[in-house]
Structure 1
Amino acid sequence: MQKLTFETSWDKALPSKDRERIVHIFKETRSQHYPTIKLTPLWQATNHRGELLITVLVHNFSGDIVKFNNTKLRYIEKNKVIAEHAFSIPPLSIPPETSMPWAFIFPVEALNGQASFVNGNLEFAD
C-alpha cells in the first residue's frame, strides 16, 4: 500500500498549509497505480536567479528503491519543452511503494522558453 513520507529537511521546514495540500493531493493520487514512477505536479515558480522550480509528488509504485542519478527530466507546457536537465540528487532515495514531495530546480541555461505555469507537467526525458 502506497505511503507518504517527507525527506528530513522538508519535514522540519514545510509550512502546515503546504503539508495539508501535499497530503490532500497524495490521497487523491495514491491509488493511481502506474508500473513504476509517476510525477504529480504540486506547484511551480521561478526564483530570484531566474531558475525554474518544479515541485512534484514523486510516486514510486514499484518494488524498487528510486534514486535520481543523472536522470533527465523535462518540464512541458502545451506540448512545448520549457526546460530539460539531468538531475543527480544523492539525498533523494524513495523506498518502494512510497510517495515523496521534491522540488527540481532547472538552471537558467536549461530553459528553452518562458514558463506560464499553466497546465505544466514534469516528465522523464527519453
Structure 2
Amino acid sequence: MQKLRFESSWDKTLSAKDRERIKQVFLETSTTTNTSSHFLAPLWQAINHKGDLLMTVLVHNFDNQALSFHNKKLRYIENNKVMAEHIFTLPSLTIEYETSMPWTFIFPAKKWNSHTVLENGHLEVVN
C-alpha cells in the first residue's frame, strides 16, 4: 500500500496549506492505473531570483525497490513541447518502495525555454 512521506526538512517547514494540497494530490494520484514504476504528479512551479525553474512534484515510487535520482534526465513538458531538460544527481533523495514524497527539481536558468508559461505542464523521467 502506497504511503506518503515527507523529508525531514520539508516536514518542519511546510505550511499547513501546502501540506493539505500535497495530501490531496496524494489521494488523487496514489492509486493510479499508471503502469510505470514511478510517476511525478505536479504540485506547483516557480522561477526563483536566479532565474532557475523550480518544479515541485509528488514523486510516486510504485516499484518494489527504492528509487534514487542518479544521472536521471528529467524533462518539463508543456503542450507536448519540451520546455526544460536537465540531468539530476541527487544523493540525498531516495524514495523507498511503495512510497510517495514531494520534491522540488531545479532546472538551471540556462536549461529551460524562456517561453515557458508554467501552465498545464508536467515532468517526465527520460530513460
For Structure 1 versus Structure 2, the TM-score category normalised by the shorter chain is over 0.9
Asked if 1:15 is matched to 2:15, the reply is yes
Identity %: 56
Look up the match of 1:114: 115
CA distance in 2 between counterparts of 1:15 and 1:112 reads 30
Query: What's the RMSD between the two structures over aligned residues?
Result: 1.0
Equivalent residue letter for 2:73:
K
* Equivalent residue letter for 1:113: S
SS of match in other structure, 1:35: coil
Alignment partners' CA distance in 2, 1:29 and 1:124: 17
Secondary structure, aligned partner of 1:112? coil
Structure 1 runs, 4 residues or longer, greater than 4 Å off: none
Partner residue in 1 for 2:74: 73
SS in 1 for 2:17: helix
TM-score (structure 1 length as normaliser): 0.96
| Cα contact 1:83–1:113 (8 A) shared by 2 | no
* 1:85-104 matches, cutoff 5 A: 85-104=86-105
Deviation at 1:124, TM superposition (A): 1.1
Q: Could you tell me how far apart the structure 1 residues matched to 2:29 and 2:3 are?
A: 11
Corresponding residue of 1:6: 6
The residue type paired with residue 60 of structure 1 is N
Offset at residue 109 of structure 1 (A): 1.6
Please give the per-residue CA displacement for 1:8-57, whole angstroms capped at 9, x wherever unaligned. Answer: 11111111100000001101111114330000000011001110000000
Structure 2 gaps of 5+ residues are: none
How many residues in Structure 1 have an aligned counterpart in Structure 2?
A: 126
Residue type of the alignment partner of 1:120: G
Distance 2:115 2:56 in 1: 17
